[in-house]
């Protein structure tokens, strides 16, 4: 008891000798994936850079693995938040903005991107402002785009997904809250089922769904491959994130703080692209080496059959997204 009393006395005295300031602003960065993924690592780097560049005036707390919110709830919470000193930030996948933006659905169009270089061409172009416009009216401020990578399909059972629609027939696939992903699965011959990310492993393991689509780092870090038989390298669409913050919080930040946060995000974005490129290769290798699920490469000709099968999705969503915008994106990507 005596020593506890001494300790209680010493701590405030020790702190009195140090310069300890409370932060003026706190950013709670919520995400749903593991800390070692490209998004998780970029969020940690962002937190460190912001604290350095604001001399501790802004503290960033990162919450991985849906600890704070799942993706759909975080956007609602962000829109409702009116604190000027505590801001909610998140990086939900572009597919999860479906309730707030018709134009961002462009990113879900099957086979829009040949590879990640195509993605960067679009994201770094002035068209990105058109794609994300209007979010501020919904209380969300779009700040940058982070990569995960191209998506692959995994499935349980005795044969991989290769032939469409035959290999998709009678199979259920977990998708994000994307209308385009739902239509794409139907055109491939399967049945889509929307589920939050944190339920996917259990749903696959218990056979609630037979398969799913995701980037390599999510498959590996959440162990989806341990409850799947095959992974087909379809590269059919892009998994990327829009980093957003409550518009109200953002507008109320002093200009020097906004500059420091923006420059930290710029550097975290550059690092994220590097992390994503590394994870894409490394996690694919780890999945193959684990030998739970067999990795099945696909030829360009096979992918072309999938592309043709899913082409009607483009027509179905053309008016909703905006035909002129789709044409401009196609032009930029050299189609």
**Which residue lies nearer to ligand SIN by CB, 176 or 310?**
176
Residue 221 or 310 having the CB closest to ligand SIN:
221
Minimum distance of ligand SIN from residue 219's CB (angstroms): 10
For ligand SIN, the closer CB: 34 or 325: 34
Minimum gap (Å) between residue 248 Cβ and ligand SIN: 24
**Six token digits for residue 163:** 């032939």
Output the CA torsion 294→203→97→192 (10° steps).
80
Contact 250, 87 (CB under 8 A): yes
- Which pairing describes strands 191-194 and 230-232: parallel, antiparallel, or unpaired? unpaired
Nearest-angstrom CA–CA distance, 123 and 121: 6
CA distances from 191 to 3, 122, 127, 172 (A): 65, 30, 33, 5
Smallest distance, Å, CB 200 to ligand SIN? 7
* DSSP letter string, 287-334: HHHH-SSEEE---HHHHHHHHHHHHHHHHHHHHHH-HHHHHHHHHHTT
Question: What's the closest the beta carbon of residue 91 comes to ligand SIN, in angstroms?
Answer: 7
Binding site for ligand SIN (CB under 6 A): 32-33, 93, 148, 176, 197, 214, 218, 239
Task: Indicate the residue among 141 and 222 with the shorter CB distance to ligand SIN.
Answer: 222
From CA 307, how far away is CA 309, in angstroms rounded?
Answer: 5
Nearer to ligand SIN, 204 or 271 (CB): 204
Closest CB to ligand SIN among residues 103, 218: 218
Q: Give the nearest distance from C-beta 317 to ligand SIN in angstroms.
A: 20
Task: Tell me if 90 sits within 8 A of 72, measured CB to CB.
Answer: no
Which residue is associated with the tokens 């959440």? 222
CB of 240 to ligand SIN, least distance (A): 9
């Amino acid at each position: 008891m005596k020593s506890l009393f001494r300790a209680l006395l010493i701590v405030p005295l020790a702190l009195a000798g140090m310069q300890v300031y409370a932060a003026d602003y706190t950013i709670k960065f919520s995400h749903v994936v593991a800390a070692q993924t490209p998004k998780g690592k970029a969020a940690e780097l962002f937190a460190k850079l912001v604290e350095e560049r604001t001399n501790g005036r802004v503290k960033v707390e990162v919450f991985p693995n849906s600890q704070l919110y799942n993706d759909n709830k975080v956007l609602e919470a962000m829109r409702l938040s009116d604190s000027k000193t505590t801001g909610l930030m998140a990086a939900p996948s572009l597919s999860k903005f479906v309730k707030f933006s018709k134009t961002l659905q462009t990113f879900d169009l099957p086979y829009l991107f040949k590879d990640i270089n195509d993605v960067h061409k679009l994201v770094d172009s002035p068209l990105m402002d058109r794609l994300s416009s209007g979010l501020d009216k919904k209380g969300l401020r779009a700040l940058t785009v982070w990569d995960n990578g191209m998506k692959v399909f995994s499935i349980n059972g005795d044969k991989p997904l290769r032939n469409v629609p035959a290999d998709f027939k009678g199979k259920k696939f977990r998708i994000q809250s994307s209308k385009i992903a739902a239509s794409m699965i139907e055109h491939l011959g399967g049945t889509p089922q929307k589920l939050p990310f944190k339920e996917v492993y259990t749903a696959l393991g218990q056979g609630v769904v037979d398969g799913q689509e995701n980037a390599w780092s999510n498959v590996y870090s959440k162990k989806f491959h341990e409850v799947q038989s095959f992974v087909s390298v379809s590269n059919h669409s892009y998994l990327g994130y829009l980093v957003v913050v409550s518009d109200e919080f953002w507008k109320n930040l002093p200009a020097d703080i906004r500059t420091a946060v923006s420059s930290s995000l710029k550097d975290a974005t550059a690092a994220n692209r590097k992390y994503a490129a590394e994870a894409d290769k490394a996690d694919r290798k780890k999945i193959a080496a684990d030998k739970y699920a067999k990795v099945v490469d696909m030829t360009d000709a096979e992918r072309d059959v999938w592309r043709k099968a899913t082409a009607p999705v483009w027509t179905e969503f053309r008016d909703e997204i905006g035909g002129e915008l789709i044409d401009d994106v196609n032009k930029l990507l050299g189609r």
